[in-house]
Amino acid sequence: MKFDTPAGTNPIDQLKVIGRPTDRIDGPRKTTGTAPYAYERHDVAPNQAYGYIVGSAVAKGRITSIDTAEAKVAPGVVAVVTTLDYPPLALGKNNIARLFGGADVNHYHQAVALVVAESFEQARAAAALIRVDYARKPGKFDLAREAPTAPLEGGGSGEGSGAPKIDRVGKFEQAFAAAPVTLDQTYTTPDESHAMMEPFATIASWQGDKLTLWTSNQMIKWSKGDVAKTLGIPEENVRLDSPYVGGGFGGKLFVRADAILAALGAKAASRPVKVAMTRPMMANNSTHRPATIQRVRLGATRDGRLTAIAHESTSGNLPDGKPETAVSQTKLMYAGANRMTLMRLATLDLPEGNAMRAPGEAPGLMVLEMAMDELAEKLGMDPVELRVINDTMEDPEKPGRAFSERHLVECLRTGAERFGWNKRNAKPAQVRDGRWLVGMGMAAGFRNNLLMKSAARVGVDAKGVVTVATDMTDIGTGTYTIIAQTAAETMGVPLDKVVVLLGDSSFPASAGSGGQWGANNSTAGVYAACMKLRADAARRLGMDPSTATFADGKVSDGKRSVALSKVAGLSAEDAIEYGDLDKRFQQSTFAAHFVEAAVDAYTGEVRVRRMLAVCDAGRILNPKSARSQVIGAMTMGVGGALTEELAVDTRFGFFVNHDLASYEVPVHADIPHQEVVFLDYPDAKSSPMKAKGVGELGLCGVGAAIANAVYNATGVRVRDYPITLDKHLAKLPPVA
């Protein structure tokens, strides 16, 4: 199905199933522990052995020797595979760091060996017996040190955010110099870990020259190709199966070392092998959100209208890596005739920096929206009003190119009213509740909408059950449910008459899960397949496809009504393919975030008390699971603002706090009441579903709203995330 004109009225608009708050159909399996995650697939291949990864003990250098003699004769050991046994394996299309092979070490905890044994404990014990000698080389591990000489570098995240290395509209320098009110500040965001609950894990089994991987992965089609390329085998000889994923946040968009080493270990052991990364290895062996140093300059008239906007960001990565695209949203967020964005990229010998939930916009809005708060204070203006008067209904860099739908002002106004923003004391450090200093903060949110081809296969059986098969993944987002809702709505059957099969690369290729593109595109692909099935079913029943209706498990044409089960065995496959609507119209999502925070006047401890998100994200397919996505993102925003930071050992080049004891993510006690409001503005230019996705929008802007609330509470502005108590304790107002 080609989607190249705005959607008119279609079966989805019935809203009998779509748009209803619906319990997750995979919920019972998740809550009873019967959902089979990758490492738990004991049933898929007999006689599974256990693999344990050995990571490099240096961050940069060369391996001179690996002694495996003791490990090979340790109890239970089946095979030992080392990086010196192979030439450097090919890079997958989506990998920057080599996953295995060769003597060169490019980052700490790079995989250098795999021990395969009868039990996990035996594999782990034997791995400790391997002796690796290195010729260590000096490396670059300190972004602050490398930033002054970092070259300009453009790029994109691959999921909707990006910018040239430098981009200018108008005459920024002249406009900034002439502006009556200006702001020029530098901010930093730290390296962050995905810290998903389920580790990277894979079971590998060979049948002759054909490889099957039961793995935890967000993007099946991408990863199937990358596994084949990395191992040097035909893509048709690779099958990936990932029906349940216990969190990914972008870390599982790409193939990681667990998948490749499981495959190599299984080949060496001549039997299936399962590999899971240990928690400490996950931080350093896989990808992370890179740290940034960002400078924002804003110039405005005395009534708050922006006349000059500049946003610069410096991040670091391995050679051939990409920058963190933190300036992306600034190109689209606010009106302003004179604009400049630029990005710099330093070469660092740290683990690979890559996509983490809302790459670009998440750290970029942490900074831009704090800068807007600071400008509002300089102007003596309400922060909500500053954003309202600088709203724009067209791409500010491409006048005449309208947004498909943009209701940011309504988000701001609705949020302010519901949150009680008018009770905020604009003067900082004025509100106390016992020992607590209390403040309110807000920020705008933004995330682009990305359109991707997505396919599905749909069939009907003799009981009238509709089965959907697509390689789309459910990473905890509710994909099973919204796909079932789409099929039920389109085919006119109850939800319990739909079976959804996901995550198998033998199914039609979907958009996959990531960048908040999954819901809109995967359901649009299912819709396309269902519409093809509807047409085929109507023709088989002797009806006109253009007038046949599908409802209550029946197909009708006004003259007769036939049970859908009468076309048992019929199936159809189709894909949604997009034209140029996303080029003709800027497609984005918007939010307003409001936070009340309290700071202990004695200790500097920060507690978030209330949170509100108002989201403009097209049609909401399932308000219940969408709300779960947003409050999860808001929770991640609390971590990013207050606790999360991968501490870099700049001497030896590794992340020190590589476990959940020292890399602190929010827990239940950290999270207060969270309210989510969805505006109802279906976007007919996005897809037949008129949806756009919301899972990352819930994160974008939250960190700044928290930072702004902390400032309003204390009068101390902290511009270096996370806002830990040591950064403002000495400057807090007197206790007595």
Residue in 67, 39, 56, 48 with CA at minimum distance from that of residue 117: 48
Mark whether 516 and 428 lie in a shared domain. Answer: no
- AA identity, residue 232: G
Q: How confident is the model at residue 56 (pLDDT cuts 50, 70, 90)?
A: very high
Q: Is residue 280 part of a domain?
A: no
Report angle CA 689, 694, 700 to the nearest 5 degrees. 150
Determine the pLDDT at residue 247. Answer: 96
**CA atoms within a 13 Å half-sphere pointing along the CA-CB vector of 155:** 24
* Per-residue pLDDT, 458: 98
Length of the chain: 736
* 451-485 residue pLDDT tens: 999 999 999 999 999 999 999 999 999 999 999 99
In what order do the strands lie in the sheet containing 436-448? 432-433, 436-448, 588-600, 606-616, 673-678
Residues 608 and 718 in one domain: yes
Residue 582 has pLDDT above 80, yes or no: yes
User: Comparing C-alpha atoms, which of 394, 450, 333, 361 is closest to residue 686?
Assistant: 450
Phi, psi of 350 (to 5 degrees): -90, 170
The whole-number pLDDT of residue 172 equals 98
Tokens of 717: 């502005």
- Based on the domain organization, do 18 and 28 belong to the same domain? yes
Query: What's the CA gap between 527 and 621, in Å, rounded?
Result: 13
Least Cα distance to 699 among 414, 475, 520, 447 occurs for 447
Query: 606-616 and 588-600: which strand pairing?
Result: antiparallel
Both 552 and 614 in a single domain? no
CA pair distance 641, 622, nearest whole angstrom? 28
In 3D space, the residue among 490, 493, 494, 511 whose CA is nearest the CA of residue 502 turns out to be 511
pLDDT of residue 160: 85
Please, what sign has the CA dihedral across residues 381, 310, 306, 404?
negative
Task: Kindly state whether residues 511 and 566 are assigned to the same domain.
Answer: yes
Q: Are 624 and 23 in contact (CB under 8 A)?
A: yes
* Angle of CA points 508, 267, 354, to nearest 5°: 55
**434 and 497 together in one domain:** no
Residue 519 domain boundaries: 2-35+451-584
**Which helix (DSSP H) or strand (DSSP E) does residue 186 occupy?**
strand 181-189
Q: The tokens of 728 are what?
A: 């403002």
Residues 504 and 475 in one domain: yes
pLDDT tens digits along 527-563: 999 999 999 999 999 999 999 999 999 999 989 999 9
In a domain, 331, yes or no: no
> With the CA atoms of 236, 241, 247 and 251 taken in that order, what torsion angle do they form, in degrees rounded to the nearest 10?
-20
- 538 and 508 housed in the same domain: yes
Percent of the chain with pLDDT over 70: 100
- Give the model's pLDDT for residue 159: 84
In-domain check, residue 347: no
- Whether 732 and 707 map to the same domain: the answer is yes
| Bridge partner residues of 203 (DSSP) | 214, 274
State yes or no: pLDDT of 736 exceeds 80. no
Given a contact cutoff of 8 angstroms between Cβ atoms, the answer to whether 585 and 401 are in contact is yes
Q: What is the CATH number of the domain that holds 733?
A: 3.30.365.10
Same structural domain, 506 and 645 = no
Calculate the CA 254 to chain-centre distance: 12
Q: Tokens representing 238?
A: 């690779």
330: left (phi over 0), alpha (psi -120 to 50) or beta: alpha
Q: Is the pLDDT of residue 685 over 80?
A: yes
Contact 618, 650 (CB under 8 A): no
The tokens describing 645, both together, are 């930071």
Question: Helices 702-714 and 623-642 meet at what angle, rounded to 10?
Answer: 50
User: For residue 265, what are the CA distances in angstroms to 290, 374, 667?
Assistant: 31, 55, 37
Please state the φ and ψ torsions of residue 430, each to the nearest 5 degrees.
-110, -15
Q: What is the mean pLDDT of residues 3-11?
A: 98
How far apart, in whole angstroms, are the C-alpha atoms of residue 333 and residue 408?
A: 10
**What is the average pLDDT across 714-730?**
98
DSSP 8-class letter at 618: B
pLDDT band at 338 (very low <50, low <70, confident <90, very high): very high
Specify if 498 maps to a domain.
yes
Q: Is residue 169 part of a domain?
A: no
On whether the CB atoms of residues 439 and 712 are closer than 8 A, the answer is: yes
Q: In whole angstroms, what is the distance from residue 87 CA to residue 461 CA?
A: 50
What phi and psi values does residue 699 have, to the nearest 5 degrees?
Answer: -90, -35
pTM here? Answer: 0.98
**Which of the four pLDDT bands, split at 50, 70 and 90, describes residue 196?**
very high
pLDDT digits (tens, 9 = 90+) for 482-496: 999 999 999 999 999
- Least confident interval from 94-98, 341-345, 653-657: 94-98
Residue 57 burial (CB count, 10 A): 15
Task: Return the amino acid letter for 538.
Answer: A
Residues 576 and 676 in one domain: no
pLDDT digits (tens, 9 = 90+) for 208-263: 999 999 999 999 999 999 999 999 999 999 999 999 999 999 999 999 999 999 99
What is the pLDDT of the chain when averaged over all its residues? 97
Q: Which of 549, 584, 619 is the last residue of a domain?
A: 584
Which of 377, 489, 573, 696 is labelled catalytic? 696
> Which residues are CB-neighbours of 343 under 8 A, at least 6 positions away?
152, 153, 154, 155, 163, 165, 166, 312, 313, 314, 315, 323, 325, 326, 327
Helix and strand tally (H, E) in the chain?
16, 32
CA separation for the pair 440, 531 (Å, rounded): 49
Please check whether residues 561 and 484 belong to one and the same domain.
Answer: yes
Tokens of 337: 């005739």
The residue out of 584, 601, 622 marking a domain boundary is 584
Whether residue 539 lies inside any domain: the answer is yes
For residues 46 and 558, give the distance between their C-alpha atoms in angstroms, rounded to a whole number. Answer: 55
**Can you read off the two tokens belonging to residue 347?**
């070469």
Judge whether 696 counts as a catalytic residue: yes
Structure-token match 């990395």, residue found: 230
Residue that finishes a domain, picked among 584, 612, 639: 584
The mean pLDDT value for 686-698 works out to 97
Taking alpha carbons only, the member of 254, 247, 278, 251 closest to residue 193 is 251
Signed CA dihedral, 674, 678, 679, 684: sign only:
positive
User: What distance in Å separates the CA atoms of residue 49 and residue 76, rounded to the nearest whole number?
Assistant: 10
In a domain, 527, yes or no: yes
Is 475 inside any structural domain? yes
User: What does the alpha-carbon distance between residue 713 and residue 218 come to, in Å, rounded to a whole number?
Assistant: 40
The per-residue pLDDT for range 402-435, each reduced to its tens digit, is: 999 999 999 999 999 999 999 999 999 999 999 9
**Which DSSP state fits 400?**
T
State the total domains in the chain: 2
Spatial separation of the C-alpha atoms in residues 625 and 606, rounded to whole Å = 29
Three-state DSSP at 444 gives: strand
Give the rounded distance of the alpha carbon of 631 from its chain centre: 14
Q: Which amino acid is at 194?
A: H
| Residue 246 and residue 216 in contact, taking contact as beta carbons nearer than 8 Å | yes
